[in-house]
Amino acid sequence: EDTPETSTRHDDDRLLGGLLSPAFDEHSCRSRYTSSLYRRRSPFRPSTYLVERLRRYEARHKRCGPGSALFQEAVEHLRSGRNAARSECQYVVWTPFNGLGNRMLALASTFLYALLTDRVLLVHAPPEFDGLFCEPFPGSSWTLPADFLITDFDGVFTMWSPTSYKNMRQAGTISNATAEQSLPAYVFLDLIQSFTDAAFCDDDQQVLAKFNWMVIKSDVYFAAMLFLMPAYERELTQLFPEKEAVFHHLARYLFHPSNDVWGIVHRFYEAYLSRADELVGLQVRVFPEMPIPFDNMYEQIIRCSEQEGLLPKLGQTVVVTAANGSSVVAPSTKLTSILVTSLFPDYYDRIRGVYHARPTETGEYVAVHQPSHEREQRTEARGHNQRALAEIYLLSFCDRVVTSAVSTFGYIAHGLAGVRPWVLLRPPSPVARAEPACVRSETVEPCLQALPRRMCGAAEGSDIGALVPHIRHCEDVQKGVKLF
């Protein structure tokens, strides 16, 4: 029965506790309001303050975004080559770098940065990135217009770029005393892996705040860094009272697979996974720089599974005595489906073969599926990225998730799901044994793998992982940190 109360409750679920705006047309982006139906209910709830800030952000995006008069004005200033003294709208442009997982971590971080600094987030979407996601902000667009002033992002934004913040600081061309109108029209924040000494002191932020245009290039989850800065501490505590769910909320708000990608997800799920009583996700990522041989990796997966009780155990066929005295195979109705994602088909082949050949201890049935095996990473190809995104989503529907150490692809999947994964640890060398085979992560948050060498205010050589209470070192990357 649809009483007003149940329909409010339904709306609350559909909009993820207010995280999503109700203002979208459902058909233009079918995943937005339906993907949560494929998952267990999230254990986390967005704070009312986060919800309020998102609605305020959306209003600003609409006022300042592409197509608005204020946007035109800001582009004119950009064209002039000089920063405007006072501007109602400030922008941060995100430009993609590295694989899809890295991109999503950096994009979510850039959005959080935009929220904190009252900037409007725009996305430079080259063809291979275009069409992966729906527009996240109602009544506007986050995509830079095709005729935008800057087009050659890869050429302009490099570590040698003269408008890189780091380079300008080092050259002494800007300081905290520089007046707004004496600054260049934009600043480039170079936050890729080795960004280490970049821009996360309060002093830096005061200078950066003067620029109306900022471009960020990153491949890491630098959102975690913002939690180390005193200037944002109060605001972040209000936005995210549960530190473990920062990426979970940001990702569920921002990332909605386009209808094309959702088609892949939806069809695969309905055809192969929807009838499972239990869904186990297994993401096997073998990195080129750590080429673990198949037998070693397979052994590690099985050792992890046995240690943690993850995949159904093999056993003898359970035989029971029927009423008439004859022996029959005990009936089971349980179906466990294992979703394997990997660039290679070998793990899927072996695991499926094993369950094919022998029964399980409980008599439950096991189905094993893998949507694709692309063999190699091809970040420059749109179709490849669409399949990768679809698989990240499918993994995020699993009840239990086993991921590979260091893989940002895995981070996104368990982050979206809101589950703590079992992480297959990286061995010291490709042929060495990882000990233990895996550990259960203590948080849903992704790892910030690259840390600055030092933090402002902290003594040189001090352990950043120990500086603030809600940060700790990652299970898979010792020098990295994560929120919990």
| β 365-369/400-404 pair status | unpaired
- Residue in 337, 408, 441, 443 binding ligand GDP, rule: CB under 6 A: 408
The sign of the CA dihedral 49, 54, 60, 64 is positive
Give residues 174-193 in contact with ligand GDP (rule: CB under 6 A).
Answer: none
- Residue in 35, 42, 102, 443 binding ligand GDP, rule: CB under 6 A: 102
Q: Determine if 109 is a binding residue for ligand GDP (CB under 6 A).
A: no
Q: Which x/- pattern over 283-312 shows residues binding ligand GDP (rule: CB under 6 A)?
A: --x---------------------------
Nearer to ligand GDP, 104 or 276 (CB): 104
Stretch in the footprint of ligand GDP (CB under 6 A) among 156-164, 176-184, 403-411, 432-440? 403-411
- Choose among 112, 81, 115, 109: nearest CA to 96: 109
Nearer to ligand GDP, 95 or 342 (CB): 342
What dihedral do alpha carbons 425, 256, 7, 238 form, nearest 10°? 60
Nearer to ligand GDP, 144 or 388 (CB): 388
CB of 85 to ligand GDP, least distance (A): 40
CB of 316 to ligand GDP, least distance (A): 34
Distance of alpha carbon 417 from alpha carbon 394, whole angstroms: 10
Structure tokens at 123: 């996305």
- Choose among 160, 161, 204, 158: nearest CA to 184: 161
Stretch in the footprint of ligand GDP (CB under 6 A) among 16-24, 181-189, 210-218, 386-394? 386-394
Q: Which x/- pattern over 121-160 shows residues binding ligand GDP (rule: CB under 6 A)?
A: ----------------------------------------
Q: Determine if 409 is a binding residue for ligand GDP (CB under 6 A).
A: yes
The sign of the CA dihedral 476, 478, 480, 481 is positive
- Residue in 14, 34, 68, 99 binding ligand GDP, rule: CB under 6 A: 99
- Residue in 101, 312, 418, 446 binding ligand GDP, rule: CB under 6 A: 101
- Residue in 58, 128, 204, 391 binding ligand GDP, rule: CB under 6 A: 391
- Choose among 249, 294, 222, 268: nearest CA to 389: 268
What does 388-441 look like in DSSP terms, one character per residue?
HHHHHHHHTT-SEEEEETT-HHHHHHHHHHT-PPEEEPPPSSTTSPPSSSEEE-
Nearer to ligand GDP, 90 or 441 (CB): 441
CB of 237 to ligand GDP, least distance (A): 29
- What SS3 state is found at 375? coil
Nearer to ligand GDP, 190 or 219 (CB): 219
CA angle 148, 153, 158 (to 5 degrees): 150
By CB under 6 A, how many residues form the interface with ligand GDP?
21
Query: H or E segment at 340?
Result: strand 335-342
Stretch in the footprint of ligand GDP (CB under 6 A) among 98-106, 180-188, 202-210, 353-361? 98-106
Nearer to ligand GDP, 133 or 240 (CB): 133
Residues 6+ apart with CB under 8 A from 157: 95, 164, 188, 190, 215, 217
Nearer to ligand GDP, 388 or 474 (CB): 388
Residue in the structure block whose two tokens are 């064209």: 79
The sign of the CA dihedral 478, 96, 92, 31 is negative
Q: Determine if 372 is a binding residue for ligand GDP (CB under 6 A).
A: yes
Give residues 325-364 in contact with ligand GDP (rule: CB under 6 A).
Answer: 341-343
CB of 343 to ligand GDP, least distance (A): 5
Distance of alpha carbon 343 from alpha carbon 375, whole angstroms: 5
Distance of alpha carbon 39 from alpha carbon 116, whole angstroms: 30
- Residue in 13, 235, 349, 374 binding ligand GDP, rule: CB under 6 A: 374
- Residue in 31, 35, 98, 110 binding ligand GDP, rule: CB under 6 A: 98
Stretch in the footprint of ligand GDP (CB under 6 A) among 141-149, 237-245, 376-384, 435-443? 376-384
CB of 371 to ligand GDP, least distance (A): 7
CB of 111 to ligand GDP, least distance (A): 18
CB of 256 to ligand GDP, least distance (A): 18
- In terms of residues, how long is the chain? 484
Tell how many helices (H) and how many strands (E) occur in the chain.
Answer: 16, 14
Q: In what order do the strands lie in the sheet with 91-95?
A: 120-123, 91-95, 213-218, 187-191
Q: Determine if 268 is a binding residue for ligand GDP (CB under 6 A).
A: no
- Which residues, listed in sequence order, are joined to residue 471 by a DSSP beta bridge? 483
> Which residues of this chain interact with ligand GDP, rule CB under 6 A?
98-102, 285, 341-343, 372, 374, 377, 379, 384-385, 387-388, 391, 407-409
